[in-house]
Structure 1
């Protein structure tokens, strides 16, 4: 062995091909078997109680442990029956791109190499997808939680550049989001040092959208009280029922009051590519910043979030550093500024852009739009069945791909138990949320493999379990 390279490349190649074939087989049979199954206690204990290896093991033996202890017990989001949290189903181009990027092992914090150019291209494509300016800055991150955090930091430092040197102190900055906003927005205010109380919660209308009229009143009231409003956070595709805020109206309020307008479009940004659903996001192109995930509707393997910022100078001013050991040069490997570490907190960054670059090249924007349309069509199918079945009750309007419903005459405890039974059956895996205080069965159709047939299997089993519970009451 030279360093950590293998002594026998031929055997390694054979094992690698076996691994790849196993993953191809798994993807080809993604709809077979249970969506999810609990990890047996024996396997769980085997993983948890393993001691730090003092001597290395043969790679085929390590792979056998993976096959027996890890591979059978995934989240299940590659299965078409997965309808829970908003997880993409993944694709083969994305999987292969992950392998290629790992082989290249490039640090994409900066410097002059091809991966940086690929990521710049992907950021440009992302801006084009939603209609933001071609010179918008951006960076790929772990997910929308980090993207929203970067947006809060950028907006606050645009409001007061001295935060970088003096800290937030008693800044009295406040921002605004609807009650339906993702929890990561409040967490971003917390991590930024403003505290969660600095995020003002704006009430919603019957469509679960932030009320623009109340927002304007709250901004005026906070200013009159001596506070400093600095940003509005709208949501395109709420995490509970998929509602889309009126981005045109909220953007106008933000601009009229001189506030930064941010849109959290974690999954729904991709709907902008659909001629059918794209108009629901009108106004997104006027955002000062936008957060979304390629690992949701774009089906890129985890993880890959994106933050876009209209004002590249403000973005860089919030994060860029001048350090002796990171000096930029005119030529050579230390050239090609600005670097991606100038637009976020990470210096060490993987080659996330490759899987996006390969996925979009292979399927195209049209292919992504078809995924959106098919997902929403399945959601409409579920909605129609829920409305037609007297046992079911629709709890929220269906805007895009999420259907929230419940079972009449069952209390929250019974509904929660029903979902647990459904998960353990392996037939389907929806999640739950609360709508107007009631526990809802939440079917989120994100996986490109999910069809009406998968939806019917889920609904048939929910109906069967519901009838059993109503009978024993």
Structure 2
């Protein structure tokens, strides 16, 4: 029996309960108004700030601080964020950011992110909640936008890398003639499963192969044509050779917009090969898949809808805030068979909280997931899908415009066909030693970044260093590309005396 003195102490401890809610909700609300005002100005005037600047020493000191054991006022912490973090982003929101394939985001999603944080939904699917139905509706909308069958399964994921992992995992299940989930990859008693893609495929494909236990040796990288699309003849030869050697051709990975040049593999031809050989066809459409939304240019990705699975990002060319990727897969059975695990603690019920219509964890790796669907759902509701298609078309036209500027300039050289929204070029001068031209252009790119005016990235094409402009930016204007070309030439001309 607990003594009265001990009971009194226990009651006191129980009554001293805490939470993480603010002590003063009114002051918290006032701070949120201030944050909202600051962020609206931040986006409204983004083009007036440098596209990139290095983090100063004073700001770096913040990240040397030891673990905080006691708390600090909301307003003081926000002031640190405003001074030392907010001014130093990747800045893919800037009109002259064209690095990698960074989407711009939209102001409307500030609202979505506040709602997402306030709701803090786990987005399980098995929970009978609004977040489940938002994601299911969004997936249905995306199927319509990509001309994909309505009975396909789908899942929102963190991005293209995870979307590709999911798609390639389903391809593995489809091709293996044994219980690969139970037995693991077995190449001693079964034939090796072979996946095919071009040498221009994204590095995440190799990672996926390794994570799935298939091994990078099971990934056959096929050489490309002069336009950086996969060489069909060499692909056919590789497939026939594998069959002759007892391997099992399991999957063809089509590039719907390569990361270096935006090249689009011949999708209809690949579909015919896949059908003839009974091979799974997966399309990596990280950004290129969204070309389907552009009415004048959608023919460029004709045949993508014939794929057995498609991986793509909404945070690239649909301008949705990070992070938001998606995978769509024909025929729900192989998808579910690949991932479904139902432990007792996520049992579905007929009624109550756990009576939701779908268990998203049966279609991917994660159980707990953020309510990222709301970002894209709100963006489509506010803007309409036609607006996104017009912006994709606008970026494609801007890429053509920049290509013409480069071709017309005697100091510049185009390095690959502009098939979509990526332009690759370099500065040239006959006096520069050929052994130094790559270093010259790499130095030029770094100096360009340091001006704070432009942020393209780079690519290495057949050993040639290129300045790479990937346009997935709804804020870019034609004059931005005029200024880019002018500044590249000015910097290049100023560098000549150091190289000749």
| TM bracket, shorter-chain basis | over 0.9
- The 3-state SS of whatever aligns with 1:350 is coil
Give the aligned partner of residue 239 of structure 1: 259
Please point out which of 149, 159, 170 is paired with 1:154.
170
CA distance in 2 between partners of 1:129 and 1:196 (Å): 33
Give the aligned partner of residue 226 of structure 1: 246
CA distance in 1 between partners of 2:154 and 2:249 (Å): 24
Residues 432 and 439 in structure 1, CA contact (< 8 A), matched pair in contact too: yes
Matched, 1:463 2:489: yes
Give the aligned partner of residue 270 of structure 2: 250
Please point out which of 438, 445, 448 is paired with 1:412.
438
CA distance in 1 between partners of 2:233 and 2:299 (Å): 22
CA distance in 2 between partners of 1:24 and 1:322 (Å): 44
Residues 396 and 404 in structure 1, CA contact (< 8 A), matched pair in contact too: yes
Matched, 1:95 2:74: no
The alpha carbon displacement at 1:205 in A equals 1.2
The alpha carbon displacement at 1:405 in A equals 0.4
CA distance in 2 between partners of 1:80 and 1:38 (Å): 18
Matches within 5 A, 1:176-325: 176-325=196-345
CA distance in 2 between partners of 1:399 and 1:41 (Å): 42
CA distance in 2 between partners of 1:135 and 1:196 (Å): 33
Matched, 1:164 2:190: no
Matched, 1:383 2:403: yes
Please point out which of 140, 145, 152 is paired with 1:136.
152
CA distance in 2 between partners of 1:439 and 1:426 (Å): 21
Please point out which of 51, 75, 85 is paired with 1:70.
85
Residues 118 and 357 in structure 1, CA contact (< 8 A), matched pair in contact too: yes
Write the deviation string for residues 67-91 of structure 1: whole angstroms up to 9, x where unpaired: 1110111001100010111111110
Give the aligned partner of residue 32 of structure 2: 16
Give the aligned partner of residue 141 of structure 2: 125
CA distance in 2 between partners of 1:44 and 1:274 (Å): 43
Give the aligned partner of residue 107 of structure 1: 122
Unaligned segments of structure 2, at least 5 residues: 1-16
CA distance in 1 between partners of 2:232 and 2:114 (Å): 46
Please point out which of 356, 376, 380 is paired with 1:356.
376
- The 3-state SS of whatever aligns with 1:56 is coil
The alpha carbon displacement at 1:2 in A equals 5.6
- The 3-state SS of whatever aligns with 2:473 is coil
CA distance in 1 between partners of 2:345 and 2:68 (Å): 35
CA distance in 1 between partners of 2:151 and 2:426 (Å): 46
Matched, 1:454 2:470: no
CA distance in 2 between partners of 1:91 and 1:210 (Å): 35
- The 3-state SS of whatever aligns with 1:307 is strand
Write the deviation string for residues 228-254 of structure 1: whole angstroms up to 9, x where unpaired: 110000011110011111100011111
CA distance in 1 between partners of 2:214 and 2:68 (Å): 44
Residues 82 and 428 in structure 1, CA contact (< 8 A), matched pair in contact too: yes
Which has the higher mean CA deviation after the structures are superposed, 164-173 or 140-149? 164-173
Which has the higher mean CA deviation after the structures are superposed, 331-340 or 388-397? 331-340
Unaligned segments of structure 1, at least 5 residues: none
CA distance in 1 between partners of 2:46 and 2:152 (Å): 38
Give the aligned partner of residue 396 of structure 1: 416
CA distance in 1 between partners of 2:298 and 2:448 (Å): 34
CA distance in 2 between partners of 1:399 and 1:98 (Å): 35
Residues 270 and 368 in structure 1, CA contact (< 8 A), matched pair in contact too: no
Which has the higher mean CA deviation after the structures are superposed, 19-28 or 328-337? 328-337
Give the aligned partner of residue 51 of structure 1: 66
State which structure, 1 or 2, has the greater radius of gyration over its C-alpha atoms: 2
The alpha carbon displacement at 1:169 in A equals 2.8
CA distance in 1 between partners of 2:387 and 2:210 (Å): 38
RMSD of aligned alpha carbons: 1.2
- The 3-state SS of whatever aligns with 1:3 is coil
Give the aligned partner of residue 10 of structure 2: none
CA distance in 1 between partners of 2:49 and 2:59 (Å): 19
The alpha carbon displacement at 1:98 in A equals 1.2
Give the aligned partner of residue 426 of structure 1: 452
Residues 395 and 405 in structure 1, CA contact (< 8 A), matched pair in contact too: yes
CA distance in 1 between partners of 2:208 and 2:114 (Å): 32
The alpha carbon displacement at 1:212 in A equals 2.1
CA distance in 2 between partners of 1:263 and 1:376 (Å): 21
The alpha carbon displacement at 1:204 in A equals 1.2
Give the aligned partner of residue 436 of structure 1: 462
The alpha carbon displacement at 1:203 in A equals 1.4
CA distance in 2 between partners of 1:194 and 1:250 (Å): 22
